[in-house]
């Protein structure tokens, strides 16, 4: 943190981030790092704001200006509370695959009536996971079956034409 904290407040922030990091372990490395980084930035910004509010402990020294005390648990606690429990953030992160499929958006110039793809979807592609390993396998298998049937039909027609 870029804001000075008392040892107890610093420990509370460390514990929060450690807990979140541990709970995010099942997420991918990139996603875990991204969410942790964002939460760290949030804390930095929120604690900077909290430090900007003069408190009773701040003292004004002649010629030095306002000397700020390190933020203590009373100041850091509400910031962590507003952020919510680490488990809640982790649950929201880990529920990602398939939880939000994103809106179906017709790409510009490819809508119905233009004789193009009937289904054009721009949205997050569900990632394969242990819970749903069929996500990628099903479309792939479908294409193999279609290609095989078409190849067999073509061969059959050629066979008839040549005989």
Give the pairing type, strands 65-67 and 59-61.
antiparallel
121 binds other proteins (CB under 8 A): no
* Ramachandran angles phi, psi of 66, nearest 5°: -85, 120
Nearer to other proteins, 70 or 83 (CB): 83
- Candidate segments 63-71, 85-93, 134-142, 149-157, binder of other proteins by CB under 8 A: 85-93
For the CA atoms of 129, 133, 136, 138, the dihedral, rounded to the nearest 10 degrees, stands at: -160
Nearer to other proteins, 107 or 148 (CB): 107
β partners of residue 66: 60
Evaluate whether 19 touches 83 at the Cβ level (below 8 Å).
Answer: no
* Residues near other proteins, by CB under 8 A: 2-3, 31, 34-35, 38-39, 41-42, 44-46, 48-49, 52, 82-86, 88-89, 92-93, 96, 99-100, 102-103, 105, 122-124
């Amino acid at each position: 943190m870029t804001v000075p904290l008392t040892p107890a407040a610093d420990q509370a922030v460390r514990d929060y981030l450690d807990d979140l990091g541990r709970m995010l372990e099942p997420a991918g490395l990139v996603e875990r790092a991204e969410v942790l980084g964002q939460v760290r930035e949030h804390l930095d910004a929120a604690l900077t704001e909290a430090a900007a509010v003069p408190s009773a402990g701040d003292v004004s020294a002649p010629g030095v200006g306002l000397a700020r005390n390190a933020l203590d648990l009373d100041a850091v606690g509400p910031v962590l509370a507003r952020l919510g429990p680490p488990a809640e953030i982790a649950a929201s992160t880990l529920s990602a695959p398939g939880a939000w499929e994103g809106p179906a958006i017709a790409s510009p110039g490819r809508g119905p009536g233009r004789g193009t793809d009937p289904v054009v979807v721009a949205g997050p592609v569900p990632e394969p996971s242990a819970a749903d390993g069929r996500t990628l396998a099903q479309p792939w298998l479908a294409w193999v079956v279609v290609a095989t049937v078409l190849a067999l039909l073509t061969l059959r027609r050629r066979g008839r034409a040549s005989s």
